[in-house]
A = this chain, B = another copy of it.
């Protein structure tokens, strides 16, 4: 795990960012209440994290480049959320962010704890499938949630997160993204986000939910294995330019927090219409595989827990989750 940097290092970064220009070393040491030696150490520590800092014997220090890494001090900088991402566990590599988050949640990790990794060696998709998570190109993250809701309401959390992802995508890239129930977000008919919701629960009480999110951000076509190129895409491919992963993650945490807090009170009620407006499946004829059963019908609505209401020949059916394809 990436160790927390010392407070003076984080403060130095904060001051340099706020200034946006050269900052006199004397003034910096004074503001940070440290001596010159400690100031140099703090600068070195930042450089160790791949920050580039210009130094000038007269003008002082200037932040020249911020690394393209999901560092806690970058994610936390100016982050407006109150719960999500207040505790961050950031790794260069993990087997699976969901697995680590699950372990942390079994301990005392507070609601909103974020686990993020540059790379997953065993990234997980639904039903034990793998999730392709190449280094530094995407956001591979998991959030620990501790909502007082029934297990049957958990599907709504995936939908709520999907909505936050759609809105974040729209705001940062202008791209029209759609919620593909139950757990994908797509642009141009291809998937760039997947959600894996796992839970520890009693029959009528959720102990905790791990909301895993994988977002393909800066992949080019050839970054995907051949078998995925027709079905997977990234923000970069669609937008035609790189997107800051840190910015995306921060905006997502802020947007999802608002939706999540509302969800805990009223379920999907408040933003169901918004979800339906951004739905990829609504009104379409689809096929859903649930376990070994295959259902066909028209996607008609969502219920207040996030389950899909399918109009079949035999009437309406409510489905918690499944593998969907268009007919």
List A residues at the B interface (Cβ < 8 Å).
Answer: 102, 106, 126-128, 148, 150-152, 154-155, 158, 182-183, 196-205, 207, 290-291, 320-322
CB of A124 to closest CB in B, whole Å: 9
In the bound complex, CA of A204 to CA of B324 (Å): 13
In the bound complex, CA of A292 to CA of B183 (Å): 30
Asked if B320 and A150 make an inter-chain contact with CB atoms under 8 angstroms apart, the answer reads: yes
Q: Which chain B residue shows the least CB distance to A306?
A: B203
Asked if B127 and A321 make an inter-chain contact with CB atoms under 8 angstroms apart, the answer reads: no
Asked if A200 and B200 make an inter-chain contact with CB atoms under 8 angstroms apart, the answer reads: yes
Asked if B203 and A182 make an inter-chain contact with CB atoms under 8 angstroms apart, the answer reads: yes
Asked if A291 and B155 make an inter-chain contact with CB atoms under 8 angstroms apart, the answer reads: no
Given contacts A152-B152, A291-B150, contact A201 B201 (CB under 8 A): yes
CB of A90 to closest CB in B, whole Å: 23
In the bound complex, CA of A61 to CA of B202 (Å): 50
Asked if B320 and A203 make an inter-chain contact with CB atoms under 8 angstroms apart, the answer reads: yes
A201 / chain B contacts, CB cutoff of 8 Å: 151, 198-199, 201
Q: Which of B106, B126, B148, B205 interacts with A202 by CB under 8 Å?
A: B126
Q: Which chain B residue shows the least CB distance to A127?
A: B205
Q: Which chain B residue shows the least CB distance to A124?
A: B202
A199 / chain B contacts, CB cutoff of 8 Å: 199-202
Asked if A196 and B200 make an inter-chain contact with CB atoms under 8 angstroms apart, the answer reads: no
- Leading 4 A-B pairs by shortest Cβ distance: A204-B321, A203-B321, A155-B203, A204-B320
In the bound complex, CA of A319 to CA of B106 (Å): 27
Asked if B152 and A320 make an inter-chain contact with CB atoms under 8 angstroms apart, the answer reads: yes
Given contacts A151-B151, A291-B150, contact A322 B204 (CB under 8 A): yes
Q: Which of B102, B200, B203, B207 interacts with A158 by CB under 8 Å?
A: B203
Asked if A198 and B200 make an inter-chain contact with CB atoms under 8 angstroms apart, the answer reads: yes
